[in-house]
Structure 1
Amino acid sequence: MRIETLLNKCLPLKSFVYSNVRLDEGEFRDKLVVTIRPRKNGVVLCSCCSKEGSVYDRLSVRAFDFVPLWNIRVVFEYKMRRVNCSHCGVKVEKIPWATGKSHTTTAFQLFLAQWARKLSWKETAETFGSCWDTVYRSVKRVVNYGLAHRNLDGITAIGVDEVQYGRGQKYITLVYQIDEGMRRLLYVGRKRTTKTLLRFFFEFGKKRTALLKFICSDMWAPYLKVIRKKAPQALNILDRFHIVGHLTKAVNQVRIDEVKKLKQDGYDESVLRHTKYCFLKNPENLTDKQQVKLDDVLDYDLKSVRAYLLKESFQLFWNYKSPYWAEWYLEKWCGRAMRSRLEPIKKFVKTIRNHQPLILNWFKAKKQYSSGVVEGLNRKVNLVTRKAFGFRSYEVLKIALFHTMGNLPEPESTHRFC
């Protein structure tokens, strides 16, 4: 079977012909050069308006990278024509295998973008004889197409969270769809401010926002303010994992303060050495050594022990099904915690009471939605940022995240190369 036959099957070109194929042997890598010529009496189209025009003149030969064949680089060569368009004037013709000024065929861009989901961008470039910038441009083109053609109708549940990236205090705001059966990234915004989330609701639209029933978020004040303003009809469910995280921080602070106080008063603080994770871990996750240490510490009348017991009793709160009885238990627990005279715990209680209605929304939603889904997606975000070696800006990170987690539609192709 001839190369031209394979090309006509994989990438048929209307109004153009694969006229000649030659193999150029190079010092480092061979190259298969395919010459393309316009078909006789074929139509020539304007690249701006796609309307038919007459040939004005021809330009010099231009090369386009195609999908490699048997690890041999494949290059299309074609003398571009300029079109005398009655609407746009003299313009370069429209060709079916590439767009704009790109020297990479559309098929090769889609090929690289598909592999960039499985490998790092650097590995993709090295494997297929390309470069990092070409892989990035290919992924960007596919992502831009997907964003323009994705369907955002029927979304009823979203999750909002922030992720730190790069060096220093740099954050991005992420919004996910967390409906059952469809979990994907909807929005990436720079920073974690009120304006950032307002921009999402502006792009999402009033009609779609009015259909939202559940929104999962943490206790970050700018997010709560925007959600309350833009989607008051939706149940705002606070992140259970962030709440527990605040409590474990309070328990750890009690331990730290107690160790310092014992040292200052001249007492032996060795009983609290190496107990940090004994207090912070769930009992089922303790190692045998940590379990022995914890059992030993629990025999002492220490502030750290009281804080630990309060933490464990708080876990029972999440087992309730009825919002009424969950609220009853939370009030009882908060009262007991305030009487503990442990300042970090009392500070946590004040935070809980300030956000109590939003915390109870988790039970009103019948535990159907949780930010645990959002945290799982955030872990995938961290994996993407590690995998996309060389991302140098927020824009590149945004493209990488949408490419992997956006569940975006791809441009149609006559042949799938991978």
Structure 2
Amino acid sequence: MLLKTILNRVAPQKGFVYGRVTLTTEGERPALEVEIEPRRGSRPVCSGCHRKRPGYDRLPPRRFEFVPLWQVAVLFVYAMRRVDCPKCGVVVEEVPWGDGKNHLTVAYRWFLAGWARRLSWQEVASAFHTTWEAVYRAVDHAVAWGLQRRSLSGIEALGVDEVQWQRGHNYLTLVYQIDAGARRLLWVGLDRTEESLRGFFRMLSDEAKASIRYLCSDMWKPYLNVLAREASGAIHVLDRFHIMQAMNEAIDEVRAEEARRLKREGYEPVLKHARWCLLKRPENLTKKQTVKLAELVKYNLRSVRSYLLREDFQRFWTYQYSGWAGRFLREWCARTMRSRIEPMKKVARTLRGHEALILNWFKARGTISAGVAEGLNNKVKLTTRRAYGFRTFHAVQIALYHSLGDLPEPEFTHKFC
């Protein structure tokens, strides 16, 4: 079968025909050069107004890189025509396989973008003998195309969270759709300020805002302020994961301080190797950790009392009615405030200040899953860890949209990836 026959089957070009194919061995890699000519009698299309116009002249031949065949580069060679457009003037024609001054064909950009969802960008560049910059431009093209055509209507549940990016206190604000039938990344904002989250709501229409019924977030004050203003009619739930994470951080702080005190005062180092015994749930402990925990609870340690307070709080999530749950929450906070363990008292004060939002969990139970947002966050961290060379916000932004945005893609005669 001739290469022209394959190309006509998988990548037909309306208004153009494939011509002579030659194998060149110049440079580091062999390449198949495929000449393209306008179909006889066809008129060029203006790249400005997208209408057929009379031709003006032709430019020197250009090479467009197509999807490689058997690791051999495939290059389309075509002398672009210029058109004499009464509206746009003398401009270069529009061709179906490429756009602008980009030397990559549209099909090859989508091919690279498809692989960039599976591998790191550097691995894609190495596998297909191209550059990191070419893969970056391919993903940028795919994301821009998808963002222009995605639908933001009918969103009922939103999850808002932040992840650390790069070194230091650099954060990204992430907004997810966490409906039961649609889970995707909707927004990536730089930093975790009110302004960064407001950027998402400025993008939504009034109709889209009105359809939001549930919100899920952590206790970060700027997020709470924006959500209260922009989606006041929605039920706002504080994320269960972040509540328990705050307790674990308090327990770890108590354990570290107490371990240092015991060592300083010459006591037996009973808290050595005890960190995960106190942080993990009992059902997730190994046999060795279970034995260690059973030994620890015999001591009247602040770390153990903090652990027992956290385990007692787990009963909160088992209540069926918010009234009884609220009563339990207030009693738990009162007991914690009497414990004289400052990190746990800080958690209790935080829970008291957000009691209404915490109790909203019972109104939304069974409707949304806060764990979905945390699962997406883990995928975000995986994407950023794989991101060799992501030094700019725009690069990490398009990588996250590409991996987690569930963006639409065009229909092709043949899908290469």
- Matched with 2:180 is 180
Q: What's the TM-score once normalised by structure 2's chain length?
A: 0.96
- Matched with 1:218 is 218
SS in 1 for 2:96: coil
Shift of 1:104: 0.9
Give, in whole Å, the separation in 2 of the partners of 1:262 and 1:69: 68
More deviation, 144-153/125-134: 125-134
> Is the alpha carbon distance of 1:9 and 1:366 closer, same or farther for their aligned partners in structure 2, counting shifts above 3 Å?
same
- Matched with 2:244 is 244
Give, in whole Å, the separation in 2 of the partners of 1:74 and 1:26: 13
SS in 2 for 1:82: strand
- Matched with 2:144 is 144
SS in 2 for 1:58: strand
Shift of 1:269: 4.3
5+ unaligned residues in a row in structure 1: which ranges?
none
- Matched with 1:305 is 304
Shift of 1:30: 1.3
Shift of 1:261: 4.3
Shift of 1:198: 0.8
Q: Which aligned runs of 4 or more in structure 1 are off by greater than 3 angstroms?
A: 256-264
Alignment of 1:106-145 (within 5 A): 106-145=106-145
Root-mean-square deviation over aligned CA pairs: 1.5
Give, in whole Å, the separation in 2 of the partners of 1:413 and 1:163: 36
* Contact 1:113–1:142 (Cα < 8 Å) also in 2: yes
Q: Percent identity?
A: 51
Give, in whole Å, the separation in 2 of the partners of 1:62 and 1:161: 47
Shift of 1:111: 1.0
Letter of the 2:372 counterpart: V
Alignment of 1:348 with 2:343, yes or no, is: no
Give, in whole Å, the separation in 1 of the partners of 2:234 and 2:59: 59
Give, in whole Å, the separation in 2 of the partners of 1:64 and 1:304: 66
Alignment of 1:328 with 2:327, yes or no, is: yes
Give, in whole Å, the separation in 1 of the partners of 2:155 and 2:390: 31
Letter of the 2:326 counterpart: E
Alignment of 1:67 with 2:28, yes or no, is: no
- Matched with 2:167 is 167
More deviation, 113-122/365-374: 365-374
* Contact 2:157–2:178 (Cα < 8 Å) also in 1: yes
* Contact 2:180–2:367 (Cα < 8 Å) also in 1: no
SS in 2 for 1:272: coil
Shift of 1:263: 5.1
SS in 2 for 1:41: coil
- Matched with 1:282 is 281
Letter of the 2:280 counterpart: K
Letter of the 2:238 counterpart: L
Shift of 1:27: 5.9
Shift of 1:123: 1.4
* Contact 1:259–1:269 (Cα < 8 Å) also in 2: no
> Is the alpha carbon distance of 1:254 and 1:129 closer, same or farther for their aligned partners in structure 2, counting shifts above 3 Å?
closer
Letter of the 1:108 counterpart: Y
Q: What's the TM-score once normalised by structure 1's chain length?
A: 0.96
Shift of 1:258: 3.2
- Matched with 1:192 is 192
Give the paired residue count: 417
* Contact 1:110–1:138 (Cα < 8 Å) also in 2: yes
- Matched with 2:98 is 98
- Could you list the per-position Cα deviations for residues 340-381 of structure 1 after superposition, in whole angstroms to 9, with x for gaps in the alignment? 222222221111000111011111112432321111000000
5+ unaligned residues in a row in structure 2: which ranges?
none
Shift of 1:272: 2.6
* Contact 1:176–1:186 (Cα < 8 Å) also in 2: yes
Shift of 1:262: 4.2
* Contact 2:161–2:173 (Cα < 8 Å) also in 1: yes
- Matched with 2:315 is 316
Shift of 1:391: 1.6
